[in-house]
Amino acid sequence: TVSTHHPQTWTNRINEVSKMALLAWEKETGIELVQINGQRRYGGPPPGWVGGPPPADTEVYITRLPQDVYENTLIPLFQSVGKLYEFRLMMTFSGLNRGFAYARYASLQEARKAIATLHRFQLRQGCAIVVCRSTQKCELLLSGLAASVSRQELEATLQVVTEGIHSVTLHASPGQRQAKLAVLKYRSHEAAALAKKALMEGNLSFREARMRVDWLDPQLKQKLQLCKEEPSSSRVQGGESLAVPRPAALPLSLQKVLACLNVLCWKFHLRTPLFIIKRVLVKPNGWQQFWYQVLIPGYHVPISGFTWVSQDRQGQSECEKVKVVAALHLLRVLGESL
């Protein structure tokens, strides 16, 4: 948890005047803002709140915000139409906002008033903001996947680099013969939002292809539901499947993946793989980037790559998570080249 007063929050001199105005406003009002996981939060509950939280449908979504606008402008504006339970502004690491925020009110009537009053409000000349009902989205769309990607392989990788994933479904990409789309369903809106942020910031690539991450559009969702989901594919060679078994539970067992890898190496007369893992970057929200390299005595080239992992919450160390990703990468390469 990082308060806005913590020097780590102000690592960049971007937009310094507005930042200093925000700090002065916090000091004057006594309001405390807490930044964690790429969002800055007020309330939840605010000081003096009595009782439990209001229902989920009291939250409104605010977008098209200028990136140099902060809570000293936004909170008084949204408090002017009703009692705020919580206000969340999405932030970049440079200290700018990400262009959107969420305001949760004490009642449904106040949330509706905020939409009626502040939608298309001119925050400054030529800058009309959008205020609408917040939908609890739980599904992401991953596009740009190669046609050869299997669901098991993608699901296993996503389980390592994100948390709370419920299911993964693959579909043929409309209008692109050699591409697939994946619909990623998470257990909650918060889990999906954090996964989207992590996948975007990690610049995720799969099979050397750059991928795009978006919220799943309802119209596209309906269109995909009319099409049959692709069957789970596995690469078969010599009568035996080389695909990674679909994980039964989180996290994916390192032992199972290594066992599968060792069987494959033995089959092709290769020796036990050696793993080299180095942490190269740690972000304030706890995500860490690792470089890995796998050497296989008897194989002509080492296999290397980068991956992002989160802090351990499932009883599995960061090193084990990286080994899972590296082993899956190696299984894919060996399955394609041997």
Q: What is the pLDDT of residue 284?
A: 76
Q: What is the pLDDT of residue 210?
A: 67
Domain ranges within the chain, ordered by starting residue: 17-133, 139-226, 254-334
**Does 17-133 match 254-334 in CATH topology?**
no
Which pTM value belongs to this model?
0.48
In 3D space, the residue among 115, 116, 15 whose CA is nearest the CA of residue 72 turns out to be 15
What secondary structure does DSSP assign to 95-135, as a single string? S-EEEEEEEEESSHHHHHHHHHHHTT-EEETTEE-EEEEPP
pLDDT, mean of each 10-residue run, the chain (338 residues): 43 76 92 84 91 87 91 96 94 84 93 94 90 84 81 77 82 72 84 82 60 80 62 34 34 70 75 85 79 81 80 66 82 67
- Cα R_g (the chain), whole angstroms: 23
Strands (E), 173-273: 179-186, 205-206, 209-210, 212-215, 236-237, 240-241
17-133 CATH fold? Alpha-Beta Plaits (3.30.70)
Tell me the C-alpha distance between 35 and 70, whole Å.
13
Q: What is the CATH number of domain 254-334?
A: 3.30.160.20
Tell me the C-alpha distance between 240 and 55, whole Å.
53
Q: What is the pLDDT of residue 6?
A: 42
Q: What is the pLDDT of residue 227?
A: 60
Tell me the C-alpha distance between 292 and 300, whole Å.
17
Beta bridge partners of 216: none
State both tokens at 135: 């939908």
Q: What is the pLDDT of residue 250?
A: 36
139-226 CATH fold? Alpha-Beta Plaits (3.30.70)
Tell me the C-alpha distance between 324 and 244, whole Å.
11
Tell me the C-alpha distance between 170 and 150, whole Å.
8
Q: What is the pLDDT of residue 188?
A: 76
Q: What is the pLDDT of residue 292?
A: 87
In 3D space, the residue among 252, 98, 101 whose CA is nearest the CA of residue 162 turns out to be 252
